[in-house]
Chains A and B, each alone.
Chain A
């Protein structure tokens, strides 16, 4: 089995007295798409933020490419896409990409070369010199993806990447994620769209009230229940009451 690139090892996270994630373990090797599913408030974002090094687990570990996710070394391997498509509104996509590219240690020439290879897939050509605040949601998402993969990271952590996107943009994103898997990347993403997870993921994990109820391939989890939705409801009933 290939070396896991993204690992949560019995990771728990509490805020005051609230347990957002409880002893979550998952490991994602290169060339795999792992989907973290669950309703709102299940702890998906907290789990991904631990992986992205934004939050330190209260107990347990979060590792990226073998390094503690909080370290700068780990962040060099990370491509993170948050739910809010964090772009600097007053800058142009070209400027945003130049800033993050250089922070990741890329030269101006390397950034230009990488953009040339990404531009056709992400359709960036026409929007590179417009201010980010003037872009549509789909266009912003494309720039955000470019920003996340600019330095060619080995791990992609995507927090609800298709939220708010139209059908075409969602499809485009799924195709892009598949292509990245094909290039040997480990992809961890969260969604509450079960159908999307079924279409895209090699493995999925059901998170409910901070606990991982089950994980496996979509077909394994679907099992006798017939659909992922039914399987999830059954698991939620057993694991912690109705969602």
Chain B
């Protein structure tokens, strides 16, 4: 690494970005002008309305006869600034807004008094509160409650303020940093290519890693600045709002903790900058980069949101999920409960992920791929010309996800087998079939269907039969599945009523997913992504999409690892069949374990047995991939 080259590129990129109106608008105009202005206006309007409501006398009526009626009327008349007494009224008047509240005495039950009000109307709610006060004073002696309950929270006001802020601030930080990284990342990669400066840079004696590090640092700086400016602006706005409404809102902001919490801007900015720059580097145009980055932007918001509202601990897999880890760290710092282990885990994982993204960016930003003109698409009539693109891959994933979430999951909840079959064969296999037909391609070409060598099938089967153990043990270590969820999963595989036999379960949960999920994921999705990026990166991203598709936070990790391994098999063999076989073996073994009750026994294995299983699993996978490689070398010869 040449630090001088990194610094030069960092300075150059920063200077360019700060002269870009779009970057400046997002970084400075929004946080420093627009947000405070809108927030202040909203606060002033809200405070004004609140005061108006408080100053306005509530129109009330009292009907029926009761022992306290006279004293209540006297109390109402005494507080003439608070009430306007109306002679008569009904519930309909309250409902129509002609009356704010109505007090009804029931002659049949003299001790009963009903206050009728409309809880959806502020004026009516205020009238009810006022009436509650005067009614208490108007009650005859001996009617007052004999005891009262008082709540006493041990949380100091500052901690309470921290708690309330922790629900919003960490997510806000992540959103702002993401926003701050978005355009600069595209600008320094796809933008450079579009402006024609790429060749000039790549002809210079600068290493790609230094170049990309300079770019990532510049984008991270801009993202961190955006985050810091937004936070600062929000803090000032919050102070103003608190000052304006000091009568009504009691919130003690723990400024020290908030300041500590804001430090997560730095790792977050670095991570998002590296990830966005890596993705931007794969795009040919600014527009294409936007299309690529937008889904990632929203995918990152989801775990950040889960971290903000959920009750997760900053440990295990949560410390490794981008977006979630920094949100959890910011939350813990804000409420003053951050631990060294949690903080270090989040920082270390963020740094590690950032480095991986940076290395990927440096690898992708290769002149060989970037300066070659994009292959021209032929007309739709030229059927053979169309090939699955990265964009097609993302659209197919989105469609499959939408179908699963809105159509097939509800069916699964009513009837598991029917829902699963429909989701696999219609939502995945059918979708790819439809895509092939609409794009004028042969189905076999879209999914990469070709006859594999016997050695290849043997290697794939070995990987499929070995992977489950390592994946299961690693998942158990990183994010152990709660017992009740594990039990539910077991019941879905082995129904207690015996309504489904072993063979039927194999067909439903092993064979069917192996065919249909591979058809989509290791078919057009992997093949489409490979047109834009390094095969290894495409396999990993396909694996992540596969993990997310399982819609279960505890299955994301195992499914991602399995999906990535299956991706490598498909890449190594150039065919979809071996990955289908490996997928089938993996699922079949898990089903067999569940039917034999062996999965429960595995939960209680000794450390030594677990280690041995892990070693055997990794050895099996290694041997499987060695066979796959050997088969490929043989075919090349």
The interface of chain A, by Cβ under 8 A from chain B, is 15-16, 49, 52-56, 72-73, 75-76, 78, 80, 82, 84-91, 95, 99-100, 102-105, 131, 144, 147
**Who on chain B is nearest to A144 by CB?**
B200
Known: A54-B199, A88-B12, A95-B12. 18 other contacts (CB 8 A): A49-B367, A49-B371, A52-B203, A53-B367, A75-B204, A76-B205, A82-B199, A82-B203, A85-B196, A86-B197, A86-B201, A87-B200, A91-B12, A91-B15, A99-B12, A102-B4, A102-B8, A104-B204
B407 CB → nearest A CB, Å: 39
Instruction: Determine the distance from Cα of A99 to Cα of B16 in the docked complex, in whole angstroms.
Output: 12
Asked if A90 meets B200 with Cβ closer than 8 Å, knowing A55-B368, A55-B372, A72-B205, the reply is no
Q: Are B12 and A86 in contact (CB under 8 A)?
A: no
A27 vs B583: C-alpha distance in the bound complex, in angstroms? Answer: 55
Once A80-B199, A91-B16 are accepted as A-B contacts, the answer to whether A54 and B367 lie under 8 Å apart by CB is: yes
Most B CB contacts (10 A, CB to CB) among A76, A82, A103, A105 go to A103
Decide yes or no: A80 and B203 within 8 Å by CB, A49-B371, A99-B8 being known contacts. yes
Residues of chain B with a CB closer than 8 A to A16's CB: 375
Distance between Cα atoms of A100 and B8 in the complex (Å): 9
Q: Are A54 and B204 in contact (CB under 8 A)?
A: no
Q: For residue B16, which residues in chain A have a CB less than 8 angstroms away from its CB?
A: 88, 90-91
CB-nearest residue of chain B relative to A53? B203
Q: How far is the CA of A103 from the CA of B7 in the complex (A)?
A: 10
Is the beta-carbon distance between B371 and A86 smaller than 8 angstroms? no
> A100 near B199 (CB under 8 angstroms)?
no
A-contact bits for B193-225, CB 8 A (1 contact / 0 none) = 001111111111111000000000000000000
Is there a chain A Cβ closer than 8 Å to B5's Cβ? yes
Instruction: Enumerate chain A residues within 8 angstroms of B15, measured Cβ to Cβ.
Output: 90-91, 95
Closest CB-CB distance, B419 to chain A, in whole Å? 43
Question: Which residues from chain A contact B207 at a C-beta distance below 8 Å?
Answer: 72
Asked if B20 is at the interface of the complex by the 8 Å CB criterion, the answer is yes
Q: Which of A90, A91, A95, A100 contacts B204 (CB 8 A)?
A: A100
Distance in angstroms from B14 CB to nearest chain A CB is: 11
Selected A-B contacts with CB under 8 Å, 27 pairs: A15-B372, A49-B371, A52-B199, A53-B203, A53-B367, A54-B202, A72-B205, A72-B206, A76-B205, A78-B203, A82-B196, A82-B203, A84-B199, A85-B196, A86-B196, A86-B197, A86-B198, A88-B12, A88-B16, A89-B195, A95-B12, A99-B12, A100-B200, A102-B8, A103-B204, A104-B205, A105-B205
* Chain B residues positioned under 8 Å from A86 (CB to CB): 195-201
C-alpha spacing A52/B371, complex, angstroms: 12
One of A15, A78, A103, A131 near B5 (C-beta < 8 A): A103
B8-A82 in contact (CB<8A): no
Q: Judge whether A103 and B205 touch: CB under 8 Å.
A: yes
* A103: min CB distance to chain B, Å: 5
| Smallest CB gap from B18: residue in A | A90
Most A CB atoms within 10 A — which of B5, B8, B12, B206?
A: B12
* B608 in contact (CB, < 8 A): no
**Per a CB cutoff under 8 Å, which of B19, B197, B206, B372 touches A103?**
B206
**B21 — nearest CB in chain A belongs to which residue?**
A90
Asked if B20 and A90 make an inter-chain contact with CB atoms under 8 angstroms apart, the answer reads yes
Chain B, residue nearest A54 (CB): B367
Considering only residues 1-53 of chain B, those with a C-beta below 8 Å from chain A are: 4-5, 8, 12, 15-16, 19-20
Instruction: Specify which of B196, B200, B372 is in contact with A80 (CB 8 Å cutoff).
Output: B200
**Bound CA–CA A147/B204 (angstroms):** 11
Q: Closest approach, in angstroms, between the C-beta of A84 and any C-beta of chain B? A: 3
List the A side residues contacting B5 at CB < 8 Å: 103
Contact B12 A54 (CB under 8 A): no
Determine the chain A residues whose CB is within 8 A of the CB of B20 once the complex forms: 90
- A91: chain B residues at CB < 8 Å are 12, 15-16, 19
In the assembled complex, how far is the CB of residue A139 from the closest CB belonging to chain B, in whole angstroms? 16
Q: Provide the bound-state CA to CA distance between A131 and B206, in Å.
A: 24
**B367 neighbours in A (Cβ, 8 Å):** 49, 53-55
Q: In the assembly, what is the distance between CA of A99 and CA of B206, in Å? A: 11
In the bound complex, how far is the Cα of B8 from the Cα of A84, in angstroms?
A: 23
Determine the chain B residues whose CB is within 8 A of the CB of A100 once the complex forms.
200, 204
In angstroms, Cα B198 to Cα A24, docked, is 25
B371 touching A54, Cβ below 8 Å: yes
Bound CA–CA A87/B192 (angstroms): 10
Q: Interface code B353-395, partner A: CB below 8 Å = 1, 0 otherwise? A: 0000000000000011001100100000000000000000000
Query: Are B371 and A55 in contact, with the CB atoms below 8 A?
Result: yes
> Would you call A103 and B199 a contact (CB within 8 A)?
no
CA of A60 to CA of B16, assembled, Å: 39
Hey, which chain B residues are within 8 Å of A72, CB to CB?
Answer: 205-207
- A34-B19 Cα distance, complex, nearest whole Å: 40
The closest CB in chain B to the CB of A99 belongs to: B12
Q: How far is the CB of A54 from chain B (nearest CB, A)?
A: 4
Q: Which of A53, A78, A87 contacts B197 (CB 8 A)?
A: A87
A144 shortest CB reach to chain B, Å:
8
Beyond A54-B371, A103-B5, is A90–B205 a contact (Cβ under 8 Å)?
Answer: no
Shortest Cβ distance from B196 into A: residue: A84
A53–B202 alpha-carbon span in the complex (Å) = 9
Q: How far apart are the CA atoms of A192 and B157 in the complex, in Å?
A: 78
Instruction: Name the 4 nearest CB pairs between A and B, nearest first.
Output: A84-B196, A86-B200, A86-B197, A90-B19
Contacts of B196 in A (CB 8 A): 82, 84-86
Question: Which chain B residue lies CB-closest to A80?
Answer: B203
CA distance A25 to B90 in the complex (A): 101
Contacts of A89 in B (CB 8 A): 195
B79 to chain A, nearest CB (A): 67
Closest Cβ of chain A to B12, distance in Å, is 5
Question: B197 contacts which chain A residues (CB < 8 A)?
Answer: 86-88
Q: Is the CB of B368 within 8 A of A75?
A: no
Chain B residues with CB below 8 A from A95, complex form: 12, 15
For B11, the closest partner residue in chain A by CB is A99
Q: A147 with B200: in contact, given A55-B371, A103-B205 (CB under 8 Å)?
A: yes
Closest to A79 in B: B203
Given contacts A90-B20, A102-B4, contact A54 B203 (CB under 8 A): yes
- The smallest beta-carbon distance between A81 and chain B, in angstroms, is 9
Closest chain B residue to A83, Cβ basis: B196
Bound state CA distance, A55 and B368, in angstroms?
Answer: 5
- CB closest residue in chain B, given A87: B197
- By beta carbon, the residue of chain B nearest A71 is B205
A189 to chain B minimum Cβ distance, whole angstroms, is: 15
Contacts of A53 in B (CB 8 A): 203, 367
- Give the docked Cα–Cα distance between A102 and B200 (Å): 14
Residue from B4, B197, B368 with most neighbouring chain A CB atoms (10 Å): B197
Listed residue (A49, A72, A88, A102) with the most chain B CB atoms within 10 angstroms of its CB:
A88
Q: Could you tell me the distance between the alpha carbons of A102 and B371 in the complex, rounded to whole angstroms?
A: 24
A24 to B56, CA, bound (A): 91
